[in-house]
Structure 1
Amino acid sequence: MYDSGKIIPGIILFVGLFTFPLWSNLGKAAPAPKPELPKTEKVCVMDAAFMKTEHMVLLNDWRDKVVREANRVWVGPDGKEYQMSLQNSCMQCHASKTKFCDQCHNYAGVKPYCWECHLEPKENM
Structure 2
Amino acid sequence: MYDAGKIIPGIILFLAVFTFPLWSNMGQAVPPPNPELPKTETACVDPREVMKTSHMQLLNEWRDLVVRDGNRRWVGFNGREHIMSLQNNCMSCHSSKVKFCDQCHNYAGVTPYCWDCHIEPKENM
TM-score of the superposition, structure 1-length normalised? Answer: 0.81
Name the SS for the 1:82 alignment partner: strand
Instruction: List alignment gaps of at least 5 residues for structure 1.
Output: none
Percent of pairs identical after alignment?
70
Aligned equivalent of 2:79: 79
Instruction: List alignment gaps of at least 5 residues for structure 2.
Output: none
Aligned equivalent of 1:124: 124
Once the two structures are TM-superposed, the CA of residue 32 in structure 1 deviates from its matched residue by 0.5
Once the two structures are TM-superposed, the CA of residue 82 in structure 1 deviates from its matched residue by 1.2
The count of aligned residue pairs is 124
Once the two structures are superposed, residues 19-46 of structure 1 have per-residue CA deviations (whole angstroms, 9 ceiling, x without a partner) of 4433332221111111111123633111
Aligned equivalent of 2:67: 67
Please tell me whether residue 102 in structure 1 is matched to residue 107 in structure 2.
Answer: no
**Structure 1 residue runs of 4 or more that deviate by more than 4 Å after TM superposition:** 5-19
Once the two structures are superposed, residues 34-74 of structure 1 have per-residue CA deviations (whole angstroms, 9 ceiling, x without a partner) of 11111236331111111111111111111111111111111
Q: Is the 2:74–2:84 contact (alpha carbons within 8 Å) kept by the matching residues of 1?
A: yes
RMSD over aligned CA atoms reads: 2.2
The residue type equivalent to 1:79 in the other structure is: G
